[in-house]
Structure 1
Amino acid sequence: MGDKIESKKIAKAAGVHTIPGFEGEVYDIEDAVRISNEIGYPVMVKASAGGGGKGMRIAYNDKECREAFRLSKNEAKSSFGDDRMLVEKFIEEPRHIEIQLIGDKHGNTYYLPERECSIQRRNQKVVEEAPSLHIDEATRKAMGEQAVSLAKNVGYFSAGTCEFLVDPQRNFYFLEMNTRLQVYGMLSLLSNFNLIMPQQILSQNSEHPITEYITNMDLVELMIRVAANQKLFFNQSEIAKPKGWAFESRVYAEDPEKYLPSIGRLTKYIEPLAITASGHDVRCDTGIVEGSEISIYYDPMICKLCTYGDTREIARQRMESALDRYVIKGVTHNIPLLRDVVSHPRFAAGKISTKFLGQEYPDGFKGAKLDVERKKVQLFAMSAVVHAIKDLNTRSWVKGAGSLQIPEHQTKWELNVSLKKTGESERVFVLAEKDGSWKVSVGGQTVSANVNWVVNTPLCDGVIDGENVVVQFLDPLPTGYRLQYLGTKFDVTIQSLRQHELSKYMKEKPRIDLTSVILSPMPGTVVSIAVREGDIVAQGAEMGVVEAMKMQNVIRAPRAGKVKKVLVKSGQSVAGDEIMVELEKARSETKQTTA
């Protein structure tokens, strides 16, 4: 069943709904194009042995089909040692739904409540939840029964997962069956004995924690019991009903704008703590610690962060809180994207599909938007209070006190606070009250703040007008601070009113134009170079392919131009930001240089 070509044939024979497509292996690019035209675009081109988003791509025309086949086939060979390919119809606006199975050696097989994995990038899951708002009891029962039928048809026992695509009308189609449960605990143990690398653990799919949350079952324990030939005693109607709600966010070492992997050493790593006294509401499945190295050789996964609540909204809010308190320094990570997704109104309403990220961030994720006045006021207020606390901490009459002491008299600051990211600037007035609270006026709006922060530690926890607000203190800057708010980094400039008045006379540094050089966006290996010196290329043309973390990434021209020099060759290792290709300077650049 791990073979997508064969499993589809078996599923169809067992009466399971399958996606229309060519049955059998697709041997070459032209074969793929011919079959795609017969099926009708869009199509999914994918490897028979693929998984985890690797070795699969969507194609909307012949050109994309050729590129998808070439890249996916190479990726599959590199990742799985099996480059057999298939093509099937791509279902528009689907939801990705999984049915968890558990069976014993005595002929008993059961299905558990579904998981939804529709928030995806590169066909790889990013945010998951259990159960799904889209699946009603009748659909859950029908999907579960087909999954059980398939498992029994192939004589499968132990834990497994059947994956389906579900359209807006709740028609469902079989994708694949995962004949395993990724046992994180055992892999972590092997990692401790240096038998496998920590990143190998995280490259395995382990969505089962959110199913365990809503069923109160230990699926790993059940697997062991089945292996020991014990019989399972369940009431199918009872275990199919979810108890509460759970979310999983996959924290990756990658740039969330273009989903390019990031490598480096984790110089600071603090996982979020449980939010309630039970300690049951937050779970981090990870194989790394502070000081760990994220390398180019494995999947960029850092952690699978799970939260639970009695309702979907409670679990969702706990995920927001957990992401706000997750501290990672040393590599670029996707927490900004995760935080924005789980707080997005469309996500909160459950109106999602596998196209969610492409639809909501068509030009890539650029960071959290301060599109609500309340968010802007909170960031400006917290920034100003952070500045005031640091200022108080440096004064001689509080040095050595061990903690911040507000003086007997009230102390005030008149500041100009500006955000580099948005260009917004506000006058902010801060007043330290005798009781340790703060009065902050931002653009004429006054708020009350209570802030708990030990200077220069990462987490700054506050309450502004009764609402909990968390910022992370990342780094001091020459004229301010780098803070993280709503998961996104903001460079905040804080000046006295006099400093701000004089700053307009300071010249800005000239920007460096990099459009004449094509850089490798990450360390990796050059798979191919598509151009030669003297070639004329269009904007967006393929310049080459770099493989990193088992994914093949197409490097494209930032503008039209003529290739001046090719500096790398196939098989060569490249560093991040290493120049691969140079273009001749554009006329406008030449004129500026001459001038």
Structure 2
Amino acid sequence: MIFQRCKSVIRLYPSCKFCHKPFSYKHLQLRGLHTSWSRLSNYSYQQFLDQQYWNDKHSKDEKNFDKVLIANRGEIACRVINTCRRLGIKSVAVHSEVDSFAPHVKLADEAVCIGPAPTSESYLVMDKIVEAAKQTGAQAVHPGYGFLSENMDFAAKLTENDIVFVGPNSEAIHMMGDKIESKRIGNKAKVNTVPGFDGEVPTEEDAIRISNDIGYPVMIKASAGGGGKGMRIAWNDDDTRKGFRLSKAEAKSSFGDDRMLIEKYIDNPRHIELQVLCDKHGNAIYLNERECSIQRRNQKVIEEAPSVYLDEGTRRAMGLQATQLAKAVGYDSAGTVEFLVDSQKNFYFLEMNTRLQVEHPITELITGVDLVHQMLRVAKGYPLQLTQEDIGIKGWSVECRVYAEDPYKGFGLPSVGRLNKYREPTHIPNIRCDSGVEEGSEISIYYDSMICKLVSYGDDRKQALDTMSKALDHYEIRGVTHNIPLLRDIIEEERFRSGDITTNYLQDVYPDGFKGKKLNTQESMRLAALACCVRYKQELQSTLFLNQTRIANQTRIPKMQSFKVKIPGVDEISVDVTSAQNQFMVAMNGEQLNLSDNFSLSDSVLAPEINGDTCYFQLLDRFPSGDIKFRYFGTVFTVSVLSDSFAAMMKHMPEKIEPDLSALVIAPMPGLVKSVNVSVGDMVSEGNEACVLEAMKMQNSLLATKTARVSKVNFKAGDTVGEGDVIVELEDI
């Protein structure tokens, strides 16, 4: 029975996420741990991980918890388990039915199934998690982030059952987790706060009245919200009415609490947050700041530490206010105080996240502190051994959130599917990958679409960004649409490189949405040259002569081959390719490019030297038609490489006519239909809301794209739809 189960697991997970070697029974036996030989095969990565916590002060004779349950899933569950293993603490994973073979389950020492896939029936059910802790003998529970991490009732329930909550006390969670209450406390603690309405906003009419009193633009946000959920910017009364309704429904679905507040929206600010660490003995320190201004839909995309914008005086002032606020509520764990900073470096308290933050790795890399370890120490009752003088800034760190989502649709609408190929760039020095997936994992509609937190480190900002660019070029993900094209473009974009960023960065730099990397002339020529070299190798490979070696056959292949090359957005190019002495000579447009012949057609990442510069390409696919698909600078390009005769015939082929989709309301992503607001026979105008679709706990309003009559409604509230499904059909009047 055990042997049969092992065989099924190996079929599902064909390779190890750490060493990329075929998944073996040894891997299963070690439950996902590095084996000795996988450590050696990826020694530089493991060495980097082992050395990152150089400033993690504690006493060697401190007694740890014997067993900790992690009330979460995905990458954060793996992250907590890794620290537990480093400290010799046994770990317990909880999981839903669809997560039975998830990496965090295999990595933990024990695992308990707590229900079906929906979070309301598994990860959000407090009684099931408490029972799992009691059943396994776990002394403490680490909640990670999201789910129950900021739920005061959960923290109190654990305490009632003599189980330690690895986080702040329930009273601090209550005071800081409620945005309305936290703002009042901030004012009393003399922390700079954003102007707004001091209280709960009950109805749409109240929201409109309050918004006009404050003055547009305003931010509508859930009192119990976080992670960008339940937040909308309103510029007028119509925005307020729609934003209030959607945010309220989103907050109810995500947090079970639909109380709303409204405050002044500070236009073009920076979003900068301070990491704080407090114990139960009145000690509180700040571990510097994180710049989190690159956002879409109020969710962070790229973060870095420190911020290029802050000077030491502003940093110290923000840090003092952050610790002052934490002390005011008796905070006793790791937490984050978020600020908005305007163009004059005035800063305003936004909210406090009473949990471990998603982007905590970049703070760890520049301070050398293991925040999970310190949370466990504080929960155990030990005082901090770190003082403010121990916390400096060593180097620079950048984090890219790699999501399964389509960046060409509103900077990122969720995508679902199976990771049929997955290779993390851990062979690149100074790269850390915090992930909870592996090859074969399923990205579903039930949970957040994050694949990995890709983190780079360098002595300075340029080095950290250059390392990140290289890592993104080597990151291989197949089976789902992902946001690497957008991440790669931002990392090299001129304004981002200069540090001139605000929370409106994406809208300012990509006013018409993200369209992919725009190649300059040199980049286009390099892509065309490599495509021709790949086609040259392909021609050589397909030429077969029985009983003769391929080397001998090279004399039968013309030394020079001519192609017609077409790249989207570029006129057709005539290219001549010659091969000699492990090098290609490519002539086009009166210029010659020399490419090193250092790759094979079986390689997925190609790194040829082109005129002395190393360039990185991912070879995604080759088609019989002559098309070759590459990922270059993160963006996918399809290059057509044809012989002269074939190119002449292709000119007579009819062009494909794109269908008119203006009469259809189409699901841009898989999700759950929350409401349908039209019926057959209704008249709708362009911009009218036809339905609301929920995906990964985010509410998305789908609009009619023309003035027409509703001819057909294909789905009702409660139905599940896939990407591309037609929800509503329209007909001209």
TM-score, with normalisation over the residues of structure 1? 0.90
Partner of 2:300 in structure 1? 125
Distance 1:92 1:546 in 2: 28
Asked if 1:558 corresponds to 2:705, the answer is yes
Structure 1 residues 103-160: Cα deviation after superposition (integer angstroms, max 9, x where no partner): 2222221111210000000000000111111111000000000001011111112211
Match of 2:336 among 120, 142, 161: 161
Matches within 5 A, 1:102-501: 102-181=277-356, 205-239=357-391, 241-258=392-409, 259-276=412-429, 281-370=430-519, 372-396=520-544, 411-419=559-567, 421-434=568-581, 436-477=582-623, 478-501=625-648
Structure 1 residues without counterparts, runs of 5 or longer? 182-204, 587-595
Partner of 1:589 in structure 2? none
Q: Report the 3-state secondary structure (helix = DSSP H, G, I; strand = E; otherwise coil) of the residue aligned with 1:571.
A: coil
- 1:407 deviates by 6.8
Aligned partners of 2:426 and 2:433 also within 8 Å:
no
Partner of 1:544 in structure 2? 691
Backbone CA RMSD of aligned residues: 2.1
| Identity of matched residues, % | 52
Partner of 1:200 in structure 2? none
Structure 2 residues without counterparts, runs of 5 or longer? 1-175
Aligned partners of 1:2 and 1:179 also within 8 Å:
yes
- 1:502 deviates by 2.1
Distance 1:398 1:119 in 2: 58
Distance 1:86 1:332 in 2: 35
- 1:230 deviates by 2.6
- 1:410 deviates by 8.2
- 1:336 deviates by 0.5
Q: Pick closer, same or farther for the CA change 1:368–1:155 going to 2, 3 Å.
A: same
- 1:389 deviates by 2.2
Q: Report the 3-state secondary structure (helix = DSSP H, G, I; strand = E; otherwise coil) of the residue aligned with 2:330.
A: coil
Structure 1 residues 310-364: Cα deviation after superposition (integer angstroms, max 9, x where no partner): 0101110111111111111111111100011111000010100000011111221
Partner of 2:676 in structure 1? 529
Distance 1:125 1:329 in 2: 23
Q: Pick closer, same or farther for the CA change 1:406–1:328 going to 2, 3 Å.
A: farther
- 1:442 deviates by 3.0
Higher share of residues assigned helix: 2
Q: Pick closer, same or farther for the CA change 1:158–1:488 going to 2, 3 Å.
A: same
Residue 524 of structure 2 aligns with an amino acid whose one-letter code is K
Structure 1 residues 38-64: Cα deviation after superposition (integer angstroms, max 9, x where no partner): 000001001011111111010100000
Aligned partners of 2:469 and 2:491 also within 8 Å:
yes
Q: Report the 3-state secondary structure (helix = DSSP H, G, I; strand = E; otherwise coil) of the residue aligned with 1:113.
A: strand
Q: Report the 3-state secondary structure (helix = DSSP H, G, I; strand = E; otherwise coil) of the residue aligned with 1:67.
A: helix
- 1:532 deviates by 2.3
Distance 1:408 1:516 in 2: 56
Residue 337 of structure 2 aligns with an amino acid whose one-letter code is C
Aligned partners of 1:25 and 1:84 also within 8 Å:
yes
Q: How many residues align?
A: 555
Distance 1:453 1:579 in 2: 44
- 1:453 deviates by 2.6
Distance 2:428 2:500 in 1: 27
Distance 1:160 1:266 in 2: 33
Partner of 1:94 in structure 2? 269
Aligned partners of 1:543 and 1:556 also within 8 Å:
yes
Aligned partners of 1:284 and 1:304 also within 8 Å:
yes
Distance 1:399 1:71 in 2: 70
Q: Pick closer, same or farther for the CA change 1:403–1:29 going to 2, 3 Å.
A: farther
Q: Pick closer, same or farther for the CA change 1:400–1:482 going to 2, 3 Å.
A: farther
Residue 248 of structure 1 aligns with an amino acid whose one-letter code is E
Q: Pick closer, same or farther for the CA change 1:396–1:534 going to 2, 3 Å.
A: same
TM-score, with normalisation over the residues of structure 2? 0.73
